[in-house]
Structure formats: structure tokens, C-alpha cells
Amino acid sequence: MQENTAAIVGFGTMGRGLARTLAGAGIEVLVMDRSPEKARESLKLLEAALDQEIARWGITQSEKKAILSRIKIVEKIEDLADVPYVFEAVADERELKRGVFWGLDQVCPPETILITNTSTLSVSDLAEATRRPDKVIGMHFQNPVHKMKLVEIVRGLKTSDATLKKVMGLAEALGKTGIEVYESPGYVTTRIILPLINEAICVVFEGVASAEDVDRSMILGFGFEVGPLTLADRMGLDEVQRWNRHLYNETGDHKFLPCALLRKMIRENKLGVKTGEGFFQYDERGRKIQGGGK
């Protein structure tokens, strides 16, 4: 088995963040998406994001080169068979994720640890798609992955202590603080942040304050680094709605019912950064356009 190597299935926003973080920590990364073309497009987006960091003096050209040199696109799931850790970072849809875990279980050796980045789904349920539920665990990173210090490490019902210990060590190697979370809908961060975002949306919907002032109130009044509506735009408003509905179905708690304004914006394809417009407007590089808020 190749040491100091990890793999990622799903090379979208979170997959790119994971790849950048792993490679930045000196780990060789194999990435796979729906097609090699999609993966190459995503790699170009990662390169553009690294160029933005260089422009802000966040990293050097040599650091960018080192990060990209450690990321390799592969085309077949069989190419992921020889690594100690495989991350699943596809869309938060149960059957899609279970299919990925089933496929990985067929090709990976028994000692490989399979890690999901799901924010709402049951780790235990995903693990049941494999013959190794003791080696399936969740690592719920926040976006942007390379900047956020927290990672929720989520145990399924059959996750072993040995698996937990290894993944805690991996989190530490990535410069993250891992908190152990027992399986519950939404875990800790998603369960708390979704009602906050939903209420912020309702405040705008009711005309109490503008989106810009809602965000400003939480930044200046409570010390948030980023406002809840900017955060929602970064997450993707369709994802925010998907997570809210899942938690409502799981808990029956009405605080997770999506605000009518959120539903309206999704119908209009105003999904946030990825479509260039949500509660705020964004340029082609995902930077907020000043004065482009609701």
C-alpha cells in the first residue's frame, strides 16, 4: 500500500478543498470525478484559486507548484485501490454515496479507511453498503477547507476505536482540530448553522433589513468572520435547502423548513457563488461585487 497517499472521489468544491489541503500537507493525492474532463476542469479552477492566493501574498509560486505536483487525476475506481485513506466528496445524496462506498469496498484492500464528507447523512447507513463498517467514518470539513481549523469526526455505530484514532491523527497532520461527534442528524455545525441561516433569510424576506446589513450585524455584533448570507452563498443555496429538508425529514422540527425566499431564489437559479448571484453578486472568480446585495 502506498504510504503518504490519499484518494478523493468527487472533485467539486469540497473535493478541491480537500485535495488542496492534503497536498499542502505533503500528501500525494489521487482524484476522480464523473469523467476525466470534469476532473481537469476542476483542476483548472483549483489552479485559478491558487493564483488568487498568490495575488494576495497568501502563498508563493513554488508552493502552488508543489501543491499541484502532488495531485493526480485518475480515471477508474480501480486506480484508487492502493491507498490507506479514500475520501468520498460527491453530492449529498444517499444512493449516490452508497454506490460510491459499494464500489470502493470492492477494490480497496480491507485495511483501507473509507471517509465520507457528508454534512447530514448517516455514516452508519453509508457504512452498511460495505463489508467494513468498522473502517467507515465521517470527516465533515468546513469550507474553505484549507483555512478552517475544525473538522467534525463522525463515528458510525460500528466505527472502531482504531479507525477513530487513525483519523484523528490524520486531522492533526492536516493542521486541524478534530472533535469527536456521535452520529446525529446534522452533527454539530450543520445542525446549529442551518437555523441561523434560515432565520437570516427570513429577516431579509420580511424586509427588516437588507442582506448586507444582516451580515454586517452578525460580523460587528457577534464577531463572525463572515455573515450568514455570504456563508449561504458560498455553500450554494440549493445545498442549504437540501440540508434543511433532510434535517426536517429526520427530526420533524419546523425550524428546518426552508424560508419562502430561499425557495424563490433557487427557482430563479440564484444559487450563490456558483451561479454568480445569490444574496450578493460575484465575478467569474467568485469574488463579491461591491454593492451587489439584496
Report the CATH number at residue 33: 3.40.50.720
Residues 154 and 21 placed together within one structural domain of the fold: yes
Summarised one tens digit per residue, pLDDT across range 96-145 is 999 999 999 999 999 999 999 988 889 999 999 999 999 999 999 988 89
Residues 172 and 196 placed together within one structural domain of the fold: no
Angle between helices 36-55 and 61-69 (to 10 degrees): 160
Residues 114 and 31 placed together within one structural domain of the fold: yes
Residue 78 has pLDDT above 90, yes or no: yes
Residues 251 and 129 placed together within one structural domain of the fold: no
Average pLDDT over residues 206-213: 97
Q: Is residue 281 part of a domain?
A: no
Residues 171 and 194 placed together within one structural domain of the fold: no
Q: Identify the pLDDT of residue 142.
A: 86
Q: How confident is the model at residue 293 (pLDDT cuts 50, 70, 90)?
A: low
**Locate cell 444582516: which residue?**
214
**Are 80 and 108 a contacting pair, CB within 8 Å?**
yes
The lowest-confidence range among 224-228, 237-241, 282-286 is 282-286
Residue 158 cell numbers, joined? 460500528
Residues 78 and 203 placed together within one structural domain of the fold: no
Residues 32 and 10 placed together within one structural domain of the fold: yes
Number of domains in the chain: 2
Report the CATH number at residue 225: 1.10.1040.10
Q: What DSSP letter does each residue of 148-160 carry, written as one string?
A: --EEEEEE-TT--
Residue 262 has pLDDT above 80, yes or no: yes
Q: Identify the pLDDT of residue 292.
A: 63
Q: Identify the pLDDT of residue 109.
A: 94
Q: Identify the pLDDT of residue 291.
A: 67
Residues 60 and 103 placed together within one structural domain of the fold: yes
Q: Is residue 89 part of a domain?
A: yes
User: What's the rounded Cα separation, in Å, for the pair 174 and 186?
Assistant: 23
Residues 105 and 195 placed together within one structural domain of the fold: no
Residues 160 and 204 placed together within one structural domain of the fold: no
Average pLDDT over residues 277-289: 89
Summarised one tens digit per residue, pLDDT across range 37-53 is 999 999 999 999 999 89
Residues 44 and 175 placed together within one structural domain of the fold: yes
Q: Identify the pLDDT of residue 294.
A: 66
Q: How confident is the model at residue 3 (pLDDT cuts 50, 70, 90)?
A: confident
Please, what is the average pLDDT of the chain?
93
Residue 222 cell numbers, joined? 457577534
Residues 263 and 169 placed together within one structural domain of the fold: no
* Residue that finishes a domain, picked among 182, 208, 227: 182
Q: Is residue 76 part of a domain?
A: yes
DSSP letter (8 states) at residue 1: -
Average pLDDT over residues 168-187: 92
Cis peptide before 36 (omega within 30 of 0): no
Helix (H) or strand (E) holding 98: helix 94-107
Q: Identify the pLDDT of residue 282.
A: 94
Q: Which domain holds residue 54?
A: 5-182
